[in-house]
Amino acid sequence: MKILLLTHSFNSLTQRLYVEIQRLGHELSVEFDIHDSVTEEAVALFKPDLLIAPFLKRAIPESVWSKLPCLIVHPGPVGDRGPSSLDWAILRGEKQWGITLLQAVAEMDAGPVWATRTFSMRNAPKSSLYRNEVCEGAVDCVLEALEKFNDPTFTPTPIDGVGTWNDAMKQSVRAINWQEDDSQTVLRKINCGDGTPGVLDCINGEVVYLHNARLENEKTGHPGDIIATQNGAICRATKDGAIWVGHLRKKGKDTFKLPATHILDLKDGEGERDIFIHIEDQIAYLHFPFHNGAMNTDQCQRLLHQYQQACQKDVTTIVLMGGPDFFSNGIHLNAIEESERPAEESWANINAMNDLCEAIIQTTDKVTVAALSGNAGAGGVFFALSCDRVYSRTGVILNPHYKNMGNLFGSEYWTYLLPKRVGTGNEAKVMQHRLPIGAPEAKALGLLDDYFGKTVEDFQRQLKEIVPALPHTQIITDKKIQRDLDESEKPLHTYREEELKHMKLNFFGFDPSYHVARYKFVLREAKSHTPLYLAKHRQRVNNS
Interaction residues for ligand THG, span 129-188 (CB under 6 A) = 168
What distance in Å separates the CA atoms of residue 47 and residue 164, rounded to the nearest whole number?
A: 34
Is residue 378 near ligand COA by the rule CB under 6 A?
A: yes
378 contacts which partner out of ligand COA, ligand THG, none, CB within 5 to 8 A by kind?
A: ligand COA
Strand order in the sheet with 50-53: 27-32, 2-7, 50-53, 70-74, 96-103, 113-120
Q: 57 or 222, CB closer to ligand THG?
A: 57
Element (H, E) at 204: none
Q: 145 or 331, CB closer to ligand COA?
A: 331
- Site size for ligand COA, by CB under 6 A? 20
Q: Which of 404, 426, 455, 460 binds ligand COA (CB under 6 A)?
A: 404
Q: Which of 31, 109, 136, 337 binds ligand THG (CB under 6 A)?
A: 109
CB 110 within 8 A of CB 75: no
93: left (phi over 0), alpha (psi -120 to 50) or beta: left
CB-facing half-sphere around the CA of 37: CA atoms within 13 A: 0
329 contacts which partner out of ligand THG, ligand COA, none, CB within 5 to 8 A by kind?
A: ligand COA
Q: 18 or 402, CB closer to ligand COA?
A: 402
- Site size for ligand THG, by CB under 6 A? 16
Q: 15 or 39, CB closer to ligand COA?
A: 15
Q: 195 or 223, CB closer to ligand COA?
A: 195
Is residue 440 near ligand THG by the rule CB under 6 A?
A: no
- Residue 85 CB coordination number (10 Å): 22
Element (H, E) at 380: helix 379-385
Q: Which of 7, 12, 84, 183 binds ligand COA (CB under 6 A)?
A: 12
Whether the bond between 197 and the residue before it is cis, its omega within 30 degrees of 0, is: yes
Whether the bond between 205 and the residue before it is cis, its omega within 30 degrees of 0, is: no
Q: 288 or 402, CB closer to ligand COA?
A: 402
- Residue 206 CB coordination number (10 Å): 13
Tell me whether residue 221 is exposed, middle or buried, using C-beta atoms within 10 angstroms of its C-beta: 0 to 12, 13 to 18, 19 or more: middle
What distance in Å separates the CA atoms of residue 200 and residue 369, rounded to the nearest whole number?
A: 41
Q: Which of 7, 191, 292, 306 binds ligand COA (CB under 6 A)?
A: 292
Is residue 57 near ligand THG by the rule CB under 6 A?
A: yes
**x-marked contacts with ligand COA along 102-141 as a string, rule CB under 6 A:** -----------------------------x----------
104 contacts which partner out of ligand THG, ligand COA, none, CB within 5 to 8 A by kind?
A: ligand THG
One-character DSSP codes across 284-353: EEEE---GGG-B-HHHHHHHHHHHHHHHHSS-SEEEEEE-SSEEE--B-HHHHHHSSSHHHHHHHHHHHH
Q: 71 or 405, CB closer to ligand COA?
A: 405
Tell me whether residue 241 is exposed, middle or buried, using C-beta atoms within 10 angstroms of its C-beta: 0 to 12, 13 to 18, 19 or more: buried
404 contacts which partner out of ligand THG, ligand COA, none, CB within 5 to 8 A by kind?
A: ligand COA
72 contacts which partner out of ligand COA, ligand THG, none, CB within 5 to 8 A by kind?
A: ligand THG
Return phi, psi of residue 202, to 5°: -125, 120
**x-marked contacts with ligand THG along 16-55 as a string, rule CB under 6 A:** -------------------------------------x--
What distance in Å separates the CA atoms of residue 28 and residue 534, rounded to the nearest whole number?
A: 9
- Residue 174 CB coordination number (10 Å): 22
Element (H, E) at 510: none
| Only segment of 115-123, 225-233, 267-275, 403-411 that touches ligand COA (CB under 6 A) | 403-411
Map residue 462 onto helix, strand or coil.
helix
**x-marked contacts with ligand THG along 512-531 as a string, rule CB under 6 A:** --------------------
69 contacts which partner out of ligand COA, ligand THG, none, CB within 5 to 8 A by kind?
A: none
Is residue 334 near ligand COA by the rule CB under 6 A?
A: yes
Strands 241-250, 233-238: pairing kind: antiparallel
Handedness of CA 332, 334, 338, 341 (dihedral sign): positive
Sequence-separated (6 or more) residues with CB below 8 Å from residue 381: 328, 398, 399, 400, 447
CB 491 within 8 A of CB 413: no
**x-marked contacts with ligand THG along 283-312 as a string, rule CB under 6 A:** ------------------------------
Is residue 111 near ligand THG by the rule CB under 6 A?
A: yes
Q: 232 or 379, CB closer to ligand COA?
A: 379
Q: 134 or 321, CB closer to ligand THG?
A: 134
Interaction residues for ligand COA, span 169-228 (CB under 6 A) = 195
What distance in Å separates the CA atoms of residue 195 and residue 211, rounded to the nearest whole number?
A: 6
Q: Which of 72, 115, 141, 226 binds ligand THG (CB under 6 A)?
A: 72
How far apart are CB 4 and ligand THG at their closest, in Å? 14
Alpha helices in 427-467 (DSSP H): 427-431, 439-445, 456-466
| Only segment of 302-310, 400-408, 416-424, 445-453 that touches ligand COA (CB under 6 A) | 400-408
Is residue 83 near ligand THG by the rule CB under 6 A?
A: yes
Task: Point out which residues bind ligand THG (CB under 6 A).
Answer: 53, 56-60, 65, 72, 82-83, 104-105, 108-109, 111, 168
Task: Point out which residues bind ligand COA (CB under 6 A).
Answer: 11-12, 131, 195, 292, 294, 329-334, 377-379, 399, 402, 404-405, 408
